[in-house]
């Protein structure tokens, strides 16, 4: 098993834990309090099946990218996993934004701006990897993981709560 630090914060640490099992790898995000106790229930589970399913697909795609980099996969394999990550994120953002429009979500502009800025970053990573053969570093994966974690636990959580409130009251 190998752990890759994602970020250290005042009260907790985020890391990817990589387990290797007969040629197959599995990664999970671990959040630990400073005392080392894992926190159960990372923010991927917000209580909306569509959004939660999308978050799982994004996590799986990010895990696949990390595995391909960890095991020094060839350029085309890394490129393919990066494209799959970007595709899963695009599909998730489209689903979420459609849902926001359907309830006339009042924070849609700020949420969409977050999506657009992140997509611009991902397109830049893809362009630099594909065109300039720039390597994808652990720092890049850390940044993507942290953005995902932060976005889900703030923007997406607020939206899902508003969406569920709308469904209960309309």
Residue 153 lies in a domain: yes
Residue at 134 is within a domain: yes
What are the pLDDT digits (tens) for 11-31? 445 555 555 555 444 444 444
Band of pLDDT at residue 37, cut at 50, 70 and 90: very low
pLDDT digits (tens, 9 = 90+) for 124-144: 999 999 999 888 988 888 888
Number of domains in the chain: 1
Residue 54 is assigned to a structural domain of this protein: yes
Q: Let me know if 88 is exposed, middle or buried by CB neighbors in 10 A (0-12, 13-18, 19+).
A: buried
Helix (H) or strand (E) holding 28: strand 24-33
State which residues form the domain around 130: 44-169
Torsion sign across C-alpha atoms 53, 56, 62, 65: negative
Is the pLDDT assigned to residue 86 strictly greater than 60?
Answer: yes
The pLDDT of residue 160 is above 60? yes
Please report, for the domain that includes residue 124, its CATH number. Answer: 1.20.120.50
Highest mean pLDDT among 35-39, 62-66, 79-83 belongs to 79-83
Please tell me the number of Cα atoms within 13 Å of 146 on its side-chain side. 15
CA-wise closest residue to 148 among 68, 49, 71, 60: 60
Supply the pTM of this predicted model.
Answer: 0.74
The position carrying tokens 């850390």 is 142
Does 18 reside within a domain?
no
Decide if 101 is inside a domain: yes
Please report whether residue 20 resides in a domain.
no
Structural domain contains residue 1: no
* Strands across the sheet containing 24-33: 2-8, 12-21, 24-33
Contact criterion met (CB below 8 Å) for 51 and 153: no
Q: In this structure, is residue 23 part of a structural domain?
A: no
């Amino acid at each position: 098993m190998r752990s890759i630090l994602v970020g250290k914060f005042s009260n907790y640490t985020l890391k990817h834990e990589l387990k290797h099992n007969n040629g197959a790898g599995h990664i999970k995000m671990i959040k630990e309090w400073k005392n080392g106790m894992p926190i159960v229930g990372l923010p991927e589970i917000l209580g909306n099946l569509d959004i939660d399913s999308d978050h799982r697909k994004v996590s799986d795609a990010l895990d696949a990218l990390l595995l391909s980099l960890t095991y020094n996969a060839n350029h085309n394999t890394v490129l393919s996993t990066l494209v799959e990550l970007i595709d899963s994120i695009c599909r998730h953002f489209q689903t979420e934004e459609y849902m926001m429009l359907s309830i006339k979500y009042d924070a849609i502009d700020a949420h969409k701006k977050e999506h657009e800025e992140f997509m611009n970053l991902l397109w830049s990573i893809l362009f630099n990897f594909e065109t300039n053969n720039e390597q994808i570093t652990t720092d890049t994966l850390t940044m993507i993981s942290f953005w995902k974690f932060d976005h889900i636990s703030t923007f997406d959580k607020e939206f899902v709560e508003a969406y569920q409130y709308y469904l209960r009251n309309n």
